[in-house]
């Protein structure tokens, strides 16, 4: 099976030597999206502003891979402070709705300098 590398200038630039996403077969594996603007500027506002920026980056990478967030089958959410979990859930619904939701894992993580990172797997098949 071959893989296709996805990079887009519509999302935050990668913070290291990795691709925004990789398509393999019927799935796109989206790298962690952080609260960074496409020009590389970090969003330093409150948790809500950071979360919306991270989920927006995830959505833009999904689009660059030929899909959208409705096709996500798995999401990983990484929070610096697990006290932000309830607010993250409210913002999550803005991007994923309340029906046909993907599987999700949410973990507290030692993020340094930002409050949230999200990654996902998209199903691109019929």
Domain parsing of the chain, residue ranges:
3-123
pLDDT > 90? residue 126: no
Q: Which pLDDT band holds residue 4 (cuts at 50, 70, 90)?
A: very high
Q: 3-123 belongs to which CATH class?
A: alpha beta
Q: Which pLDDT band holds residue 89 (cuts at 50, 70, 90)?
A: very high
Q: For residue 19, give Cα distances in angstroms to 5, 44, 60.
A: 6, 24, 14
pTM value?
Answer: 0.96
């Amino acid at each position: 099976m071959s893989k296709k590398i996805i990079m887009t200038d519509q999302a935050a630039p990668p913070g290291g030597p990795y691709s925004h996403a990789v398509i393999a077969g019927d799935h796109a594996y989206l790298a962690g999206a952080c609260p960074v603007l496409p020009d590389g500027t970090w969003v330093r506002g409150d948790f809500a502003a950071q979360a919306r920026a991270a989920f927006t980056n995830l959505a833009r990478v999904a689009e660059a891979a030929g899909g959208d967030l409705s096709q996500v089958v798995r999401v990983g959410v990484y929070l610096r402070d697990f006290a932000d979990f309830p607010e993250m859930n409210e913002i999550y619904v803005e991007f994923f709705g309340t029906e046909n939701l993907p599987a999700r894992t949410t973990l507290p993580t030692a993020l340094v300098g930002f409050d949230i990172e999200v990654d996902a797997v998209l199903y691109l098949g019929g």
